[in-house]
Structure 1
Amino acid sequence: MKAHLIVSTKSIALFVLYIFFIPGIVPLGAQINVETLQITGKVNDFSSNIVSVDGKSFYIRANSRVYSQAYSKLPLKMITINSLVDISYYKIGKLFIIDKMKLLDMVGSGNYKIFTGKIKKTGKRGVQIGNKNFLLDDFTIKIGLKLQKTDIAYWRNSYVTITALKNEAGNWIAEIIREGITPSPALTTRLAE
């Protein structure tokens, strides 16, 4: 009986050694595909940790970020059937795991404002038009060839139209930023607020 226990203990030790300490060997169950994908659609069904959007099921984990256009953190009870959401997710095996889910709660509301003008300054997470600063987030829609560049510094001196919302902290969040045509000098007086 004692010999059997020793053999079992060695077997367990070898198993643990195989899983955790042999470099270059990854067990099949530990392989993860980490490509991030994105989908926008309406919520068809919602339970405590599963959201169905346009017939596809997504899992919410404890570290999934859930927020909205108006709030930086959102309780899950605010997600209802027919809510419009934008989800960035990744796959683990056949499961779709939510990394970020943004409730598009302000779409169609009167809380949007539109600003037009020349970008005076750029920063890591935003731009300045006139005396207003606009923050960009992961879901800001960028329209125009120059705006598609990853380096925001190239945006300086571009004329743009920004559709923005003011968040709970009082910051303007750019929902849509569209590159525009350089206006005539007669129009530049009304560009920035």
Structure 2
Amino acid sequence: MNCIFYTACIASITLTAAQAGASTTIIDFNDGSAPGFSGNYKVTSGTDSTAAAPVIDGVRDETRYLAVPGTGTSGSAFLDVGALGGGSVLTRLNADWGSIDSYNTLTFYAGSTVVQTITGSMFPPANGDQSSASTNRNITLDFNRNLGITRVGFSSGQLALELDNLSVGTVPEPATWAMLLLGFTMVGAAARRRSKAVTA
């Protein structure tokens, strides 16, 4: 009887810890900053000759947003997932992606290894239309945490890739979870031994 109770208790603790370890960071760029980003980008507003504000559900974004590149006609920026203060492994990326072009690319890395690449051409017609619903979308990408994605690259071969309202879901690295689970198992084993000693 006691063994069943402690097993259930350990499972409950593990589930609670897993939920507590998950983190979501919202980046809206409204304060002019781009936390976790490096590379060739700019935080801007409005539409000009180098970038166009996303139009989501027929509404043009009047706030600040991220445009890659920040200068020139091509470039890349990178988001370091661990720099956001939550977990260090990406599990979800949600964003408003404006005027999607075939030459826009999102690249997901585990360390320096490319895990997945998403191109604008996967969202037809990918012609960069600045007001069409088909080229201005809210996207959600989910990833298995075991992929170990730690960095996201945003690049454009010509004029810009525009993003706003990023929601970045993260968890601790799988190795960290293994250590936590080992710790919970040891706590459960110690509790079981104490229970048997008291019963005797």
Both structures adopt the same fold (TM-score exceeding 0.5): no
Higher-Rg structure is 1
Using structure 1 for the length normalisation, give the TM-score. 0.22
Using structure 2 for the length normalisation, give the TM-score. 0.21
| Structure possessing the higher relative contact order (Cα contacts under 8 Å, 6 or more residues apart) | 2
Decide which structure has greater strand share: 1
